[in-house]
Structure 1
Amino acid sequence: MDEGEQRPKLTTGGLVAVGLGNALAFYDLIIFSVFAVQISKVIYPPGDPATELMLTLGTFALGFLTRPLGAVVIGRFGDRKGRKPAMLLSFSLAGTAVLAQALVPPYAAIGIAAPLIMLALRMILGFAIGGEVGPSTAYLVECAPPAKRGTIVSVQFATQEAASLVAGIVGFVLAGMLSAAALEAWGWRVAMGIGALIVPFGLWARSRLEETLHVAQAETDSVEEHGRSPGRLALLGFIMISSATVATYGLQYLNTYAQRQLGLPVQEAFTATIFYGLAAVIFNLGGGWLSDRYGRKPVMIGGMAVLALGLLPAFVLLNASPTTLTLLLVSFTLSIPNAIGPAAAVVGLTEALPPRARSANLAIPYALGVAVFGGSAQFIIAWLLKATADPLAPAYYVTAIVLVGLTAMAMMPETAPVRRKKA
């Protein structure tokens, strides 16, 4: 393929347009997570605080069940009709769901309809996010020069973590400005509404993108060229993504953990999300750059191995010294390896997949991994803490899953041009 003639130029505006979809979807996910304590008291039937929280996190988990369906429907749509219309569809659905969530009446006003409506909206959002990742990542891979794919695709993860950072800042500011009662009654609704403000701009920006489906159609099928089985790659991708998403949502649970387990004030707990997001934005981009320079496998394996080694000592330290300073140290430090590893893994998986079915073949294992393990991660952590009364339970669970993911990473082929040239 003559890249100069056929590969669209990736502009800063194009990167922003693709990134906004991820930012909106993940901003809402994080807002729902970090405001779980407040939402539980408004939308769900009154009961003991632990039960209310688990109902909220259960809704959070069930919203992930529609991700695989969205991956199949929108992912295949992206392979047949184009990356651009698929990205417009997923963004429109996500924007609608985000705005509607902020307007759900409380349980006190409409009874059981409140949690049911919230669940339906979470499932619509899950459908949209499930279909977002495949077409948007395929678009970036098909636009980016091969030697810079790691850096370019890492923008996907950086925008996700930027959303986490913004969500933490919004939560911190609102917790400082509002009373506990106001934060519970409507503060979380304001936070969700802020995310909906970018919808019109995001739709306009995506409508101006150039289509890249012709790039995939012109590329040689990776299975024929490299002898790789799509089924094997999908399985390895599912395991890697499952591992990474458990780590991500497990670390994002530190906000709730700080409030419920350590007894820190709400505003101080939000600083964990801010510091996690700050480190993740920086080191997602760094992980992509490193994978272009040194290869996908060394970076993904190195990052997740460091995370596995650091989780238990970090939680021991956090419980021995449950202060805001320790919380910030743990959040920032653990975020670094967790940001570096997954960025390289997804770039490698995307490069290895058959180009003509890249959107769906990436979206489906990604959505399944996130739906099965990511959506349930915080619920399982909350249940383990309640069932075992062991404050180190989150570290044990996340470490075990990360070790399984490392096994799959070791079995992946190396796809970085710099490493393949040396080979």
Structure 2
Amino acid sequence: MNKQTLVIHQSDESAPVAGGKRQPADNALAAVGAAAIGNVLEWYDFSVYAFVAPILARQYFPKVDELSALLGTFAIFGVGFLMRPLGGFCFGRIADHHGRKSALTLTIMLMAVSTIAIGIIPSYEAIGAFASLAMLFARLLQGFSAGGEWGSANTFLVEWAPNGKRGLIASFAQVTTVTGTLLGSAVAASLSSALSSAAFESWGWRMLFLFGGLIGPIGFYLRRNVAEHLPAELKQPADPHAPGHALRKIAQAIGFTVVWVTSHYILLHYMPTYLTRYAHLSRTEALWSDSIGLVVMILLIPLTGALSDRIGRRPLLLGCCALLVVLPYPLARLLLSGVSFGTVIGVQILFGIVLAMYSGPAPAAIAEIFPARERAVGMSVGYSVGVAVFGGFSPFAATLLIQHTGSPISPVFCVIAAALLSGLTLWHLPETAHTALK
């Protein structure tokens, strides 16, 4: 194992230093690149499940009725998120006590194993209920891994960032998350376009998960070959009041995360299924429209992250919450009115712009809630609980709402409620963009 290098953040905007000597810029770029690229591949694997959910419903559940099978598939999608807080706590503790690099190399290998497993599990017709149970176990393992991935990677990026550029640098944690989602959407759309419907449903969808298995050798190599970097604050004595303070900060992080993850999973992950089922788009059109919206979002996230370094985090975060209260209902009614494919793309682009307002400054803002000693575990647990409760079950809740109300418009009220809750949390959080990292 490489010798640990303690990083002490300076008050200026220079690169971090180790042992009193300035770190070469290319070392910093390599470290950030390793965290970013691994995050892309991790989130490709974790999100691609949602894009082929209707096929998985037919492959791994009894053919009673399509909606019940789809509910079962999204339930397993959501159950995977229940492991995320546990993974966030375990890997966050590893990151805070043994280094960010140790946690990052472990998460990427676990994700590879679980993703390959999904690609090779026999269908329900072949092995009956064991197929559903095997899928459940693989998703639980994915959730455990992903629970430690985002918090550790974001901590790594924030602690490398010089003062005055935390919003920009940390935004790449979300850029890579959305890029992984885009990669899953684009690969699924490409295979759906290249293969016949029968071939894609029979075996083509498995290629999506087997392709994700590449994260093992690629991601492990990239992360294993970067130096370890820990803030000097981790060597200081622990605060005896830290547990109580940490719980309050984790509660703030959960409230902060609600709109972030709810809007992400309903307006991005669930949208291809929604557009196919209720807006009468083909599977390929739905996937491509989602991909275009994701591209816009990826391009804008670094810009909004950098903008938050200048004007503060709160204006962008609160502005996004306000827009997610007023826009989803009329836009959903528009999508359900039988509009053209071009109009659907326009709506997806608008959603991408609005979500970028939150996703750009959010990684830095949530990291700034916690001091160094609690950062990885606090941020991982807070974010993972928010994702598990409000994000992972969002597609399931959306499908259930439609089933019980009979109205395809009903999922927008999940987004509106989430925006109100996070807006209230943000109103009581201080501005942290222009203060030194604790």
**TM range, smaller chain:** over 0.9
Measure, in 2, the Cα distance between the counterparts of 1:359 and 1:261.
40
Asked if 1:259 corresponds to 2:271, the answer is no
> Where does structure 2 lack aligned partners over 5 or more consecutive residues?
1-7, 11-15
Distance 1:256 1:5 in 2: 48
Of 76, 98, 121, the residue aligned with 2:138 is 121
Tell me, which stretches of 5 or more residues in structure 1 are unaligned?
none
Read off the aligned partner of 1:30 and give its amino acid letter: S
User: 2: distance between equivalents of 1:265 and 1:98?
Assistant: 26
CA offset digits 1:100-130 (Å, max 9, x no partner): 1111111111111111111101000100010
Is 1:222–1:353's contact at 8 Å kept on the other side of the alignment?
Answer: no
Aligned to 2:430: 413
2:265 match? 249
- Paired amino acid for 1:233: K
Q: Which residue of 2 aligns with 1:285?
A: 302
Matched with 2:318 is 301
The change in CA–CA distance for 1:356 and 1:388 in structure 2 (over 3 A counts) is same
- Evaluate the alpha carbon distance shift between residue 96 and residue 325 of structure 1 in structure 2; reply closer, same or farther with a 3 A threshold: same
SS at match of 1:146: coil
- Return closer, same or farther for 1:56/1:346 CA change in 2, 3 Å cut-off: same
Residue 325 (structure 1) aligns with:
342
Distance 1:305 1:218, change over 3 A: farther
My pick for the range that moved more, 281-290 or 367-376, is 281-290
Which aligned pairs between 1:191-270 and structure 2 lie closer than 5 A?
191-217=208-234, 229-252=245-268, 253-270=270-287
Structure 1 residue 199, shift from structure 2 partner: 2.6
* Equivalent-residue separation in structure 1 for 2:398 and 2:239 (angstroms): 39
CA distance in 2, matches of 1:290, 1:215: 29
TM-score (norm 1): 0.93
2:122 maps to a residue whose letter is P
Counterpart pick for 1:178 among 182, 190, 195? 195
Is 2:402 the counterpart of 1:385? Answer: yes
Aligned partner letter, 1:185: S
Matches within 5 A, 1:45-194: 45-194=62-211
- Residue by residue over 1:181-202, the C-alpha shift from the partner in whole angstroms, topping out at 9 and shown as x without a partner, is 2111111111112222233111
In structure 1, what residue type is equivalent to 2:17?
Answer: E
Q: CA deviation at 1:20?
A: 2.5
Tell me the secondary structure at the aligned position of residue 80 of structure 1.
Answer: helix
* Alignment partners' CA distance in 2, 1:217 and 1:31: 37
Alpha-carbon RMSD: 2.1
Alignment partners' CA distance in 1, 2:237 and 2:372: 8
Residue in 2 that maps onto 1:5: 17
Number of matched pairs:
416
Say whether residues 1:362 and 2:379 are aligned partners.
Answer: yes
Q: Distance in 1 between matches of 2:248 and 2:359?
A: 19
Give yes or no for contact 2:159–2:231 (8 Å, CA) kept in 1: no
CA contact (8 A) 2:316 2:357 kept: yes
Q: Distance in 2 between the 1:86 and 1:360 partners?
A: 11
Which of 265-274 and 340-349 deviates more? 340-349
Secondary structure class of the residue paired with 1:412 = coil
2:327 is aligned with 1:310:
yes
Q: Is contact 2:46-2:146 (8 Å) kept?
A: no
Write the deviation string for residues 233-267 of structure 1: whole angstroms up to 9, x where unpaired: 22121011122101100102110011111221111
Deviations 1:361-380 (CA, angstroms, capped at 9, x unpaired): 11111111101111110000
Which sits farther off after the overlay, 304-313 or 33-42? 304-313
Question: Do 2:249 and 2:378's aligned partners in 1 also have CA atoms closer than 8 Å?
Answer: no
8 A Cα contact 1:292 1:416, kept in partner: yes
Aligned-partner residue type, residue 240 of structure 1: F
Question: Partner of 2:3 in structure 1?
Answer: none
Looking at structure 2, the residues matched to 190 and 94 of structure 1 have their Cα atoms a distance apart, in angstroms, of 16
Find the counterpart in structure 2 of residue 346 from structure 1: 363
Is the 8 Å Cα contact of residues 46 and 142 (structure 2) preserved in structure 1? no
Which letter does structure 1 place at the counterpart of 2:148? G
Q: For the residues of structure 1 that align with 2:171 and 2:239, how far apart are their CA atoms?
A: 21
Map Cα deviations across residues 204-235 of structure 1 (whole Å, 9 max, x no partner): 110122212244426899999xxx94333221
Structure with greater proportional helix content = 1
Is residue 242–residue 370 contact of structure 1 (8 Å, CA) maintained in 2?
A: yes
In 2, Cα distance between equivalents of 1:393 and 1:325: 24
The secondary structure found in structure 2 opposite 1:212 is strand
Name the amino acid aligned to 2:397.
Answer: I
Displacement of 1:203 after TM fit?
0.7
Alignment-mate amino acid for residue 40 of structure 2: A
Amino acid at match of 1:101: I
